[in-house]
Amino acid sequence: MKSCLQGYIDLLESLSLDNVEQLYEYVAEEIVFSDPFNRISGSKAYVGLLKDMFEKLDNVQFTVYESLYQEKEQLVGNPENNTAYLYWNFSANSGATGKLNFDGSSRLVFNQGGKISSHQDFWDGSVIFQKIPILGAILQAIKNKISYHKG
């Protein structure tokens, strides 16, 4: 499973519309993917989501800063115990929002066959909303109002 993780990371860091279908080598057919805007099931839907991203955005780049793999003892009735965590950066250009650049993390769960059956992304979805002119100004005002200000 560690080799699956490293292969997945290597692919993510070089991912493009030309090689996105190589993800099928690393993800289970029943993969569940979630992030602040999506929750989908199935490898075809996952690859389709990433294809859509490459069609809508330019200069997409994932950089994985850190990874942690944790192999747990197999518990009866719960074969999906091995997990990995990634800390990454995403950058891209969008006609609608301009330059995107943010850090996030992922929790990956591996099935008994060593493929990724769950991929959960955690990142601040407001970074996209903040790029929308009027909505961005409102969100920034709210953020300024509720954030800590040293007196």
Domains, the chain, with CATH or none = 2-124 (3.10.450.50)
Task: Report pLDDT for 35.
Answer: 97
Alpha helices in 57-146, H assignment, sequence order: 126-129, 133-146
Residue ranges of the chain with per-residue pLDDT less than 50: 76
CA distance 111 to 131: 38
**Bridge partners, residue 100, by sequence:** 92
Q: Are 104 and 16 in contact (CB under 8 A)?
A: no
Q: Are 39 and 32 in contact (CB under 8 A)?
A: yes
Task: Report pLDDT for 71.
Answer: 79
CA distance 78 to 139: 42
Task: Report pLDDT for 20.
Answer: 97
pTM of the model: 0.84
Task: Report pLDDT for 143.
Answer: 79
Task: Report pLDDT for 149.
Answer: 79
Task: Report pLDDT for 74.
Answer: 57
